Amino acid sequence: MRIYLAEAIGTFALIFIGVGVMQNTDNLLTIALAHGLTIAVMVSAVGSISGGHLNPAVTFGAWVGGKISTAEAGKYWVAQLLGATLAGVLVTILFGKGVVILGTPGLSAKTTYLRAIAIEAVTTFFLVFVVYGTGIDRRGPKIGGLAIGLTVTIGILVAYPFTGGALNPARAFGPALASGDLLFNGWSYFGNHLVYWFGPLLGGALAGLIYGRYLLKD
């Protein structure tokens, strides 16, 4: 149980800070750093307990790479999505629904559905690849929290103008569910939301295959 509690708390922190920061800034660098620094801190805090996934795509990549069982992966997902949703609810209570809606990743008018999936897939691939290299691979440098946080920051800087830079299904799911948009805004909204599942899970799976099944030698 402590593993899943750690995942829920870490994901809660990411969503609370990542969405909450939107109340007082629209500066891209500030938003990216808020996410990256939170990930760096929370991965460092809970990494020794749960591995510090805090992201269903990271868990999926670990599963594809054979580092976690199906049952464990499912429990990780439940914990992550619950933490993300609770954070979205708390942000709604403290800062208002408008902040949650503003902090929910959305597709830009200048991008297409397939381009958005590709952007989320590529940026999440790099993220999960770094998780493997600095967190899972015992030969790697012990800088997992810092490296992963920097990768999230860079990924958001690239992806934000097109997709809102989720790199994490929970980052989109929690706020969207808490605001009610995921349930009540119709199929078009839900269809766009699937970008934040298809893209990150595809990127995570590719990283799991390449690093977990080929580059990682136990």
pLDDT band, residue 144 (cuts 50/70/90): confident
Residue 106 tokens read as 């959305």
> What pLDDT does 69 receive?
97
18-32, 123-137, 178-192, 195-209: range with lowest mean pLDDT: 178-192
Q: Is residue 88 part of a domain?
A: yes
| Averaged pLDDT for residues 155-172 | 97
The two structure tokens encoding residue 145: 């929290």
In a domain, 203, yes or no: yes
Average pLDDT, the chain: 94
What is the full DSSP assignment across 22-81? GGS---HHHHHHHHHHHHHHHHHHHHHHH----SHHHHHHHHHTTSS-HHHHHHHHHHHH
The CATH number of residue 6's host domain is 1.20.1080.10
> How much is the CA Rg of the chain, to the nearest whole Å?
16
Instruction: Give me the pLDDT at residue 42, please.
Output: 98
Question: So what's the pLDDT on residue 138?
Answer: 87
pLDDT tops 70 at residue 187: no
* Residue 89 belongs to a domain: yes
Give me the DSSP letters along 143-209: -HHHHHHHHHHHHHHHHHHHH----SHHHHHHHHHHHSHHHHSHHHHHHHHTHHHHHHHHHHHHHII
User: In this model, does residue 186 exceed pLDDT 70?
Assistant: no
The per-residue pLDDT for 183 is: 67
With bands split at pLDDT 50, 70 and 90, how would you rate the model's confidence at 143? Answer: confident
Percent of the chain residues topping a pLDDT of 90: 84
Does residue 16 belong to any structural domain of this protein?
yes
Task: Look up the domain containing 29 and give its range.
Answer: 2-212
| Residue 179 confidence class, pLDDT cut points 50, 70, 90 | confident
Q: Range with the lowest mean pLDDT among 46-55, 97-106, 187-196?
A: 187-196
The reply to whether 218 falls in a domain is no
Nearest CA among 201, 194, 148 for reference residue 172: 194
Instruction: With respect to residue 217, please indicate whether it lies within any of the assigned structural domains.
Output: no
pLDDT of residue 192: 84
Whether the Cβ atoms of residue 57 and residue 127 lie closer than 8 Å to each other: yes
120 falls within a domain: yes
Query: What pLDDT was estimated at residue 34?
Result: 97
Over range 77-105, report the average pLDDT. Answer: 95
* Full-model pTM: 0.95
* Counted domains in the chain: 1
Is 8 among the domain residues? yes
Per-residue pLDDT reduced to its tens digit, 30-77: 999 999 999 999 999 999 999 999 999 999 999 999 999 999 999 999
